[in-house]
């Protein structure tokens, strides 16, 4: 087993044993928060809305790993206005990550979906695994973890290679492709094909609608001003949620009685709920959107950014191609072969370190509590700066550079590398996700050379996975090994030294 996978399993186990090791360096106790209020806090909130990654980075540079923004608009209160009805706490670094992620009863994750008023479809669809705690969380986590564990994923290996090959072989050699769409389609076809009972027009359409809805949540308008008035983004989101819920329930009803142990949706529909009752519509509508989003979005993001990084780092791309050819010969990349490719493993880890697919996570305090010994009020929201934690220079020297070779001498804990989260809620899909990315990447690289069009602008947005804001066009060549970087522009250069 690869070291990181082993670490993930250890942390899951150690959590059960109430882990207390100090592998992540000094405990967070004693870390003093910087407290900003009023106009100063508002300034940072606006910067966060405009460009979250550069904002958290500058905030960290100026004030350190623990920043409290309070009383931003003391006269504005709304239970769902995430950014203005603060306190908002920004944290970075393994010790603070650990303190929060190890205690999910106090620090509840927020749903990927927007949520909404009582009895609305939007509210029901935001009630998946990520919003649960206690016995209900344990019940569904156990149910969904079964098809995602190592042995089950390995059973899917041959089919995963076939699905990757079928999609990628149809890419148009000699033409210009839009890289985000291609990465999205390739990963989606594997995920829907293997974890949702097969890809068809309906499952694709649902995946698209779920992606649009999560994007609306993380767009600043709906977050800050959840006003249910005609023509507001919030009203549009409520309407879209109602339509999506209908489609999900109709689609899920076709799975009744089909107990496919690999199909996550069929498990939710057919297995008893946490109280031993048959799953009702609210349970089904609550789980399926966040499972779709969780299973597809982060992998697509990783695949896309890894392709960009390889296109812009010819030396690494050339070494990786050599390694893959040595191991594969003319064979289609299998799951076993990609697991035995150390450089591929390092390339994927380094890409996820530099551009974590979920660069910021959010938690909400369920009660008055403390963080690093300082009082935090109930309902405060904490932004966990994964993007900053995977750039700590003492752990990752030259943190803005893409240096896969660093992985031959480092072995961070999940709290130092919280790309899949860490602690009791660590991503249960990491093994599937990692293997899907590696198989797809190896299939693409052994067939094609991707050259980004010179002068292309690459900007990004966060929803909550990081993806490009506009099309990224690239020429698709048959693989000839003639890798060469091309000049590109855009905000990506603020976060990666190319």
Binding residues (CB under 6 A) for ligand HEM: these are 101, 109, 129-130, 141, 144, 148, 195, 264, 291, 294-295, 298-299, 302, 357-358, 361, 419-421, 425-430, 432-433, 437
141 versus 159: smaller Cβ distance to ligand HEM: 141
* CA atoms of 154 and 114, how far apart (whole Å): 34
Query: Both tokens of residue 62?
Result: 């100026």
Output the smallest distance, CB 411 to ligand HEM, in A.
Answer: 18
Provide, rounded to whole angstroms, the least separation between the CB of residue 257 and ligand HEM: 22
Burial class (CB in 10 A: 0-12, 13-18, 19+), 236: middle
Instruction: State the DSSP H helix or E strand holding residue 40, giving kind and residue range, or none if neither.
Output: helix 38-50
CB 388 within 8 A of CB 382: no
* Cβ nearer to ligand HEM, comparing 44 with 107: 107
Q: Which is nearer to ligand HEM, 146 or 377 (CB)?
A: 146
Nearer to ligand HEM, 241 or 351 (CB): 351
**Nearest distance, CB of residue 110 and ligand HEM, angstroms:** 9
Q: Which of residues 109 and 289 has its CB atom nearest to ligand HEM in the complex?
A: 109
What whole-number distance in Å separates Cα of residue 189 and Cα of residue 125?
23
Nearest-approach distance from CB 426 to ligand HEM, in angstroms: 6
Instruction: Dump strand ranges (E) for 49-97.
Output: 66-70, 88-91
CB 119, min distance to ligand HEM, A: 25
281, two tokens: 């519509």
**In the complex, minimum distance from the CB of residue 75 to ligand HEM, in angstroms, rounded to a whole number:** 33
CB nearer to ligand HEM: give 109 or 233: 109
Q: Give the nearer residue to ligand HEM in terms of CB position, either 306 or 341.
A: 306
Return the number of other C-beta atoms located less than 10 Å from residue 361's C-beta: 21
How many C-beta atoms lie closer than 10 Å to residue 331's C-beta? 10
What distance in Å separates the CA atoms of residue 372 and residue 273, rounded to the nearest whole number? 37
Distance linking the first and last C-alpha atoms of the chain: 32
Q: Judged by CB, which is closer to ligand HEM: 358, or 476? A: 358
Least distance to ligand HEM, CB of residue 182, Å: 17
Please say whether the beta carbons of 119 and 261 come within 8 A.
no
CB atoms within 10 A of CB 103: 15
Cβ-contact 473, 497 below 8 angstroms: no
Q: Identify whether the C-beta of residue 468 lies closer than 8 Å to the C-beta of residue 180.
A: yes
């Amino acid at each position: 087993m690869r070291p990181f996978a082993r670490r993930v399993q250890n942390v899951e186990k150690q959590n059960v044993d109430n882990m207390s090791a100090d592998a992540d360096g000094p405990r967070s106790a004693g870390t003093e928060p910087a407290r900003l209020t009023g106009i100063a806090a508002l300034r940072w909130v606006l910067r966060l809305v405009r460009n979250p990654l550069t904002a958290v980075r500058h905030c960290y540079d100026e004030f350190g790993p623990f920043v409290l923004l309070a009383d931003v608009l003391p006269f504005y209160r709304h239970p769902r206005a995430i950014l203005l009805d603060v306190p908002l706490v920004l944290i970075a670094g393994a010790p603070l990550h650990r303190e929060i992620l190890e205690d999910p009863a106090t620090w509840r994750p927020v749903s990927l979906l927007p949520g909404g008023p009582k009895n609305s479809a939007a509210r029901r669809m935001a009630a998946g695994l990520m919003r649960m705690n206690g016995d209900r969380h344990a019940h569904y986590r156990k149910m969904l973890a079964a098809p995602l564990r190592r042995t089950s994923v390995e059973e899917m290996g041959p089919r995963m290679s076939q699905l990757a090959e079928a999609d990628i072989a149809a890419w148009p050699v000699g033409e210009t492709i839009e890289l985000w769409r291609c990465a999205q389609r390739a990963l989606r076809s594997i995920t829907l094909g293997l974890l949702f009972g097969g890809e068809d027009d309906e499952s694709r359409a649902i995946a698209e609608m779920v992606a649009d809805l999560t994007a609306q949540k993380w767009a600043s308008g709906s977050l800050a001003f959840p006003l249910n008035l005609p023509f507001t983004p919030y009203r549009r989101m409520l309407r879209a949620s109602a339509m999506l819920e209908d489609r999900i329930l109709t689609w899920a009803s076709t799975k009744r009685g089909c107990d496919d142990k690999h199909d996550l949706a069929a498990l939710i529909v057919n297995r008893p709920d946490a109280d031993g009752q048959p799953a009702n519509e609210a349970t089904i509508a609550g789980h399926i959107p966040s499972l779709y989003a969780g299973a597809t979005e982060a992998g697509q993001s990783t695949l896309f950014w890894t392709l960009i990084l390889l296109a812009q780092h010819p030396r690494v791309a050339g070494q990786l191609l050599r390694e893959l050819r040595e191991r594969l010969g003319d064979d289609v990349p299998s799951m076993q072969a990609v697991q035995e490719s150390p450089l591929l493993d390092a390339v994927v880890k380094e890409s996820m370190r530099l551009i974590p697919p979920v660069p910021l996570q959010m938690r909400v305090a369920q009660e008055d509590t403390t963080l690093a010994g300082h009082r935090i009020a109930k309902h405060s929201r904490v932004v966990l700066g994964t993007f900053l934690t995977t750039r700590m220079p003492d752990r990752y020297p030259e943190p803005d550079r893409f240096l896969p070779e660093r992985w031959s001498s480092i072995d961070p804990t999940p709290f130092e590398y919280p790309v899949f989260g860490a602690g009791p809620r660590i991503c249960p899909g990491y093994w599937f996700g990692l293997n899907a990315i590696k198989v797809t990447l190896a299939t693409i690289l052994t067939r094609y050379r991707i050259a980004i069009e010179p002068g292309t602008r690459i900007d990004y947005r966060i929803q909550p996975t990081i993806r490009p804001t506009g099309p990224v066009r690239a020429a698709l060549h048959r693989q000839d090994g003639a890798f060469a970087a091309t000049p590109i522009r855009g905000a990506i250069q603020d976060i990666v030294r190319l």
